[in-house]
């Protein structure tokens, strides 16, 4: 076939590329990659759910082969290939990706490890309970339908979602020149937020966040920068740091274990990547502290065990793993969705507002539909009741008519042409009939059993019920507040059904650097009477004169790898790593111990090196006169705060003395206690019992009603004097007596 010059169309290549690419981009944005702001679904997800609904796969029906679902979806609504449809179907079954999975899968649909799903011919699926909340009342005409790709079927433009799916399940998608990344949120919190908006449409973003404080990922974890959430929710864009949840446990052979119990949402469906990453770090000796890595995860939950070599700091290793692996990752938030065929970035308030607006539209249409149905039924019931009153006439009309059409014309228009009547009065009365078409059809279809008195009574009851419903529907449609009340009632029912405890922890945690090498050094911790604390090198301390050290009330020798244990009068023990105590010159002020270990208003009474405690015994004395010995092993913990001793209400620790094993065994050591009233008592140290830290202790001294112990010390036999509040006290004046007795006044 020849082509003439007139048949050739000349096009500008650049213009054609621009036009074609724009059409392609719009198709990807609107018909493939981005969710609708109203139901929170992408087109392929909506079509799968609609196809399953058409197949009748509700939660109470048996599962159906996934291949059948994919085939119906592709053949009727989504002609884009079976693999993309099946991938979307699989995603909607994943409880580690969605807070409320929309499809109930049966068979191998993959795992959180990253295992792929079995072929669609092997798996089965049906709708979940939460999917029903997106499909309810579809038959009531609440949403618009449009022709499918070949105009052989109709499909909904949007599902009548009465559950805020977009915020609850979140979504992710990459279009042309834009992407969406909406994190999942807690169902109960989102529903509370929507209800709060319905109660107060002028609610601020800040107040809305009291109900929706932040994302709640199905994999749990910790959001470590929750202070950034207000700005992210205001602008619709930002970055969230998500960290794995870990615990440090005692392992075998004296080793410590770092146990990962929850992983970041960013690696949901690819947990194996994290395990392989940890194993490669161990094999490559990137972290020499790692002894072994095991994945002990099961149906009960995630459990990745990282064994730490002996004498290595598990917390320091954890800091390094958070830096080098995906145990801490960044989730980029982009609240992008389609509204009126236009992609827009929404704020949190904007998403809630759009959903609430959609609900008002849906519920208005629903009640208009219900009102119309009720009015139509009332019309029929009224006709049936009227017909029962003139049933003899109607029977005469039917018997005298030659066709149903003739009888129907008589009932509607009073047309009595060619109808044979037995009585002239019946003929005249028939000419006055004016039933509606619906009433006439119902009368002609009415069985004779409806003439029973009980059936007529039921019609009267139905009429009254319909009148009540019509009144209710009209009130709801006329009153916006009542419409909102109906919306809230259903949302509350959904909350009761779908609400679950929050999984993701919201906090602000500063990233701590990993210290790869640490030179062990001798240092001294110096604390003055105001609580200002600093560490100095052993060489600096050795050169300091007695006068320079006089101002420090506590001097604790230790290693720079050790921890400083701080005991308070309230019976607590805090720990501070030596590396966190500022290294200063002798003349520098240092930092308050209250800021270093967050003691708050508690009164610090004793300091000790963590390593020193293990070879020692601690003598605890309280102001109410209780005393006990506690082994230093009792304080073996990695926790920054723990209970050091049990106290009764109103009691407090007044003295803690560090003793060596030789001190305990010595028969001639004595304990001296002095009360606020000046009474003193000395008794042998061997009379003090060793107890657990949770024990109350034994009686050290009998006190008068308002008297309290003010001072305690342990004296070797050769000690002649000791200092008490700046006074020099003769040791020999305090004679040895039995523990628990009353003190002597003249001893001071």
**Catalytic amino acids?**
122
- Distance, CA of 620 to CA of 634 (rounded, Å): 13
DSSP reduced 3-state for 7? helix
Contacting residues for 493 by C-beta, under 8 A, at least 6 apart: none
Answer whether 310's CB lies under 8 Å from 303's CB. no
Sequence-distant contacts of 464-467: CB under 8 A, at least 24 apart = 466/374, 466/377, 466/378, 466/381, 467/378
446's tokens? 């009415």
Nearest alpha-carbon partner for 254 in 213, 294, 314, 203: 314
Please state, as a whole number, how many other Cβ atoms lie within 10 Å of the Cβ of residue 220.
Answer: 21
Please state, as a whole number, how many other Cβ atoms lie within 10 Å of the Cβ of residue 181.
Answer: 16
Answer whether 732's CB lies under 8 Å from 721's CB. no
Burial label, 168 (beta-carbon count in 10 A; 0-12, 13-18, 19+)? buried
518's tokens? 């640490």
Nearest alpha-carbon partner for 329 in 268, 280, 388, 272: 268
* Signed CA dihedral, 119, 121, 124, 127: sign only: positive
DSSP H helix total and E strand total for the chain: 23, 34
Answer whether 212's CB lies under 8 Å from 348's CB. yes
- Distance, CA of 213 to CA of 192 (rounded, Å): 11
Residue recorded with tokens 């109930």: 104
Q: Write the Ramachandran bin of 212: left for phi over 0, alpha for psi from -120 to 50, otherwise beta.
A: beta
Distances (CA, A) of 668 to 492, 664, 683: 74, 10, 10
Distances (CA, A) of 485 to 204, 207, 325, 362, 475: 21, 21, 49, 14, 12
Distances (CA, A) of 268 to 179, 262, 321, 329: 19, 10, 18, 12
| Range list of β-strands (E), 464-531 | 505-506, 522-528
122's tokens? 């092997």
Supply φ then ψ for residue 78, to 5 degrees: -135, 80
Residue recorded with tokens 């500008």: 12
E strand or H helix at 127, and its extent? strand 124-127
Please state, as a whole number, how many other Cβ atoms lie within 10 Å of the Cβ of residue 438.
Answer: 13
Answer whether 246's CB lies under 8 Å from 201's CB. no
* Signed CA dihedral, 506, 510, 513, 519: sign only: negative
* Signed CA dihedral, 33, 37, 41, 43: sign only: negative
- Distance, CA of 335 to CA of 166 (rounded, Å): 10
Burial label, 217 (beta-carbon count in 10 A; 0-12, 13-18, 19+)? buried
- Distance, CA of 525 to CA of 509 (rounded, Å): 27
CA angle 465, 461, 448 (to 5 degrees): 130
Residue recorded with tokens 């049933």: 391
């Amino acid at each position: 076939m020849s082509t003439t010059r007139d048949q050739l169309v000349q096009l500008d290549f650049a213009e054609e590329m621009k036009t074609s690419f724009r059409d392609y981009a719009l198709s990807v944005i609107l018909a493939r990659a981005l969710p609708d702001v109203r139901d929170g679904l992408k087109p392929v997800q909506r079509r799968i759910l609609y196809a399953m609904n058409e197949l009748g796969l509700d939660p109470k029906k048996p599962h159906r082969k996934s291949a059948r679902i994919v085939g119906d979806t592709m053949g009727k609504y989504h002609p884009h290939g079976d693999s993309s449809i099946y991938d979307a179907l699989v995603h909607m079954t994943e409880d580690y990706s969605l807070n409320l999975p929309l499809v109930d899968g049966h068979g191998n649909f993959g795992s959180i490890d990253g295992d792929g799903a079995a072929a669609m011919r092997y798996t089965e699926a049906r709708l979940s309970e939460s999917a029903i909340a997106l499909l309810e009342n579809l038959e009531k005409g609440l949403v618009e339908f449009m022709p499918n790709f070949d105009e052989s079927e109709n499909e909904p433009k949007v599902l009548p979602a009465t559950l805020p799916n977009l915020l609850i399940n979140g979504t992710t998608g990459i279009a042309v020149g834009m992407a969406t990344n909406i994190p999942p949120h807690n169902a109960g919190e989102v529903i509370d937020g929507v209800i709060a908006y319905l109660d107060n449409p002028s609610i601020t973003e800040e107040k809305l966040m009291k109900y929706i404080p932040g994302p709640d990922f199905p994999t749990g974890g910790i959001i470590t920068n929750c202070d950034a959430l207000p700005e992210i929710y205001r602008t619709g864009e930002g970055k969230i740091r998500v960290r794995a949840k870990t615990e440090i446990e005692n392992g075998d052979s004296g080793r410590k274990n770092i146990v990962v119990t929850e992983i970041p949402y960013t690696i949901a469906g690819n947990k194996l990547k994290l395990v392989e990453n940890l194993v490669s770090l161990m094999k490559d000796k990137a972290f020499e502290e790692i002894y072994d890595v095991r994945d002990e995860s099961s149906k009960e939950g995630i459990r990745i065990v990282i064994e730490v070599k002996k004498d290595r700091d598990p917390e320091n290793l954890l800091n390094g793993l958070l830096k080098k692996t995906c145990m801490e990752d960044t989730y980029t938030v982009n609240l992008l969705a389609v509204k009126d065929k236009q992609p827009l970035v929404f704020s949190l308030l904007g998403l809630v507002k759009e959903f609430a607006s959609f609900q008002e539209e849906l519920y208005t249409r629903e009640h208009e539909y219900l009102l119309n149905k009720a009015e139509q039924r009332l019309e029929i019931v009224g006709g049936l009741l009227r017909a029962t009153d003139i049933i003899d006439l109607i029977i005469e009309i039917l018997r005298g008519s030659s066709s149903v059409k003739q009888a129907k014309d008589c009932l509607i228009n009073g047309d009595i042409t060619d109808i044979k009547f037995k009585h002239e009065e019946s003929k005249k009365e028939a000419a006055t009939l004016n039933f509606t078409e619906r009433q006439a059809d119902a009368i002609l279809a009415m069985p004779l059993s409806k003439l029973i008195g009980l059936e007529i009574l039921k019609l009267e009851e139905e009429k009254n019920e319909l009148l009540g419903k019509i009144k209710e529907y009209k009130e709801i449609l006329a009153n916006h507040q009542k419409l909102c009340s109906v919306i809230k009632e259903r949302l509350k029912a959904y909350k009761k059904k779908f609400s679950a405890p929050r999984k993701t922890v919201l906090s602000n945690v500063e990233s701590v650097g990993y210290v790869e090498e640490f030179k062990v050094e001798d240092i001294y911790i110096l604390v003055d009477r105001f609580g200002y604390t600093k560490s100095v090198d052993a060489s600096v301390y050795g050169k300091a004169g007695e006068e320079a050290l006089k101002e420090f009330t506590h001097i604790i020798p230790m290693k720079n790898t050790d921890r400083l244990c701080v005991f308070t009068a309230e019976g607590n023990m805090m720990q501070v790593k030596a590396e966190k105590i500022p290294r200063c010159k002798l003349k520098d002020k240092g930092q308050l111990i209250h800021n270093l270990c967050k003691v708050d208003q508690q009164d610090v009474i004793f300091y000790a090196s963590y390593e020193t405690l293990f070879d020692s015994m601690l003598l605890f004395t309280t102001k109410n006169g209780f005393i006990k010995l506690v082994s230093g092993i009792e304080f073996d913990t990695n926790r920054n705060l723990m209970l050091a001793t049990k106290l009764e209400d109103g009691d407090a620790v007044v003295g803690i003395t560090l003793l060596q094993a030789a001190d305990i065994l010595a028969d001639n050591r004595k304990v001296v206690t002095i009360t606020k009233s000046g009474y003193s008592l000395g008794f042998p140290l061997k009379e003090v019992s060793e107890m657990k830290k949770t024990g109350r202790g034994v009686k050290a001294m009998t006190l008068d009603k308002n008297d309290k112990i003010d001072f305690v010390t342990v004296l070797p036999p050769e000690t002649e004097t000791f200092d008490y509040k700046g006074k020099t006290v003769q040791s020999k004046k305090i004679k040895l007596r039995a523990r628990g007795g009353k003190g002597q006044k003249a001893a001071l």
